[in-house]
Structure 1
Amino acid sequence: MSSMRSIKIGTRNSPLALWQAREVARNLQNRNYKTDITPIVSSGDKNLTEPLYAMGITGIFTKDLDIALLNKQVDIAVHSLKDIPTQLPKNIEIIAVLKRDYPQDVLVRSAGAKNKELHDLKIATSSLRRRAFWAKTYPDTQFFDIRGNVQTRLQKLEDQEFDATLFSLAAIERMGLPVEYEHLSMMISAPAQGVVAVCGRSDDEEIIELFKEVDHRDTRICIDIERNFLQTLEGGCTAPIGAFAEINEEDEVRFIGRLCSLDGKNCIETDEIFKWNEHENFGEAMAEKVLENGGRELMEEIKSQIS
């Protein structure tokens, strides 16, 4: 590709999304490419009153960028990978992922709840996964809906009647926010959490070729397993699903996956170590085990409760 051309990077305009776009730009500039960041307002950001799962969750944060990409207003779109549906629109693909930094969920308390026990906390989260995984350990918790970007949610934490909320650690660390947080051993991350993804048009060979240099191999292997696990389990329905894979130098992978009922009472888990190779769909295989182990009935139950 001629290094004279400037690569147009589409992004949402929240502070975190802009950080992600700048991180991709930095990767390109290090390879002597010019970049141009183009913020696009997403419908997911325009509607902050309705909980995510009432808005037809699939692709709510990616749709506007998908349209900009397909209309060639931008060359690439940068997303938080956990926001990208496993079913991508026609002619759009994930052409690179950056190295994963902070995959974990963390707890942030309001000033007034510093000394409360975990089981007494009133928790604000609109994530079905976070609610179910929390309720698995603390079944009597009172939950509240909360929406908005990190800064908005931190403000709501001080203004409203709940005690704490859950964030992706990546959001806090990337923004350099001076926030106290606690790690939670009972949480399993959302599939592909903590990963910045670059989407491009499937027919844009120049851009696809260029981003092969940017793509982080080990992260790519892990997120493919996590997303295949998710896709096989949910089949288009949103459910409390956690998945996290780690790989070492010998291509040995440890994978932890979990599917929970909405109230957290019924959970099916898998925790396995295997040698990776490119010919097997490990995520699918592990999801099939969960489905055969009671997951199929559990998914039916979740579908009937959400619809």
Structure 2
Amino acid sequence: MRFFFFLAATALLAACQTPGYDYEARIAPNFPQAADYRAPEVGRFRGPAGDVAEGELEAMIADIRLDGMSWFMPTQGRPDSLYEGRVDIEAWDEEVRYERERRCVKHDGLFDCKRHAMVETECTTGSVAVAVTATLVDLADNRTVFTAAQPGGSARETCIDIAEYPDDGRPEGVYRDPRQSNYNPYNAPIGMVEDAVVEAVRRFRYDIAPYNKTLRAEIMTEGLIPEEQNDTRFGLAVDATKGGNFLGACAQWDELARAYPRAPAVLHNQGACAEARGDMETAQLRYARAAELASGIPLLKDKKARLIFEALERVSGRRYDDMLLDGTLPRSGS
């Protein structure tokens, strides 16, 4: 049943997804200026488990790859920048839960239970929250490039049996309110702090280096003006897109654009084809023209043209990423 439920949920998700064309894109780091520093060194991270933060960041830097090649280059004793920072413990909490379950406490054989009993358990869940702050420093002029903080957390649970009595028909589950406790964060178990620091440092991946991501150039499934609304080729191109026929659909959008050069939905979908091919300049021109035409339609509801303006913003971002990374992309043999 679980398997069929999963298939049904997957099918429902696919059905609800706006049709379009998926493609791989290089995305600039959240702090774009970090892309200029290809030979960083990891310095000291102060605070509890600071050594763990240093080791995790060093390992991350060594492991980051883009298009199959290492992004960061060996410093060879000449680093161009330095990552340093600190670890702060934000919280150490515990929750104690009390639960009751019916359990077999005596067996006659492997699958033969002779006696059931009610067993009460006490489960204690401890949780630790940390914040790791990292600063990138340009070593040439001792200038701070960026400072960012990432959260991390860890949890551990232990359960013990505290009572056992004959099965008297009492309901299973929680039988009393949980108990919450807050402790001095800097007395938190060091093992939990270390686990939380590891999680926090991993979140810096998208701050410090470019990455590849699958994006979708969504199409508009309905026309915005009568010409595109009433042409059966529009619906056929939408169906071709849903069926995964990229070439056929894009050829149809090109044909419709020649017939209706002022049809915003057609121009948007033509732009989606250009975006998926990696031609961001053409895509931006098509989206911009579609946005201009849509803005001139009287009484058009904003949500009907939402995809056009979102696509224009997305492609503008992709062009910025490409421009930023153009001179820094790794090349084979370099």
TM-score range, shorter chain: under 0.3
What is the TM-score when the length of structure 1 is the normalising length?
Answer: 0.26
1 or 2, which has the higher strand percentage? 2
Larger Rg: 2
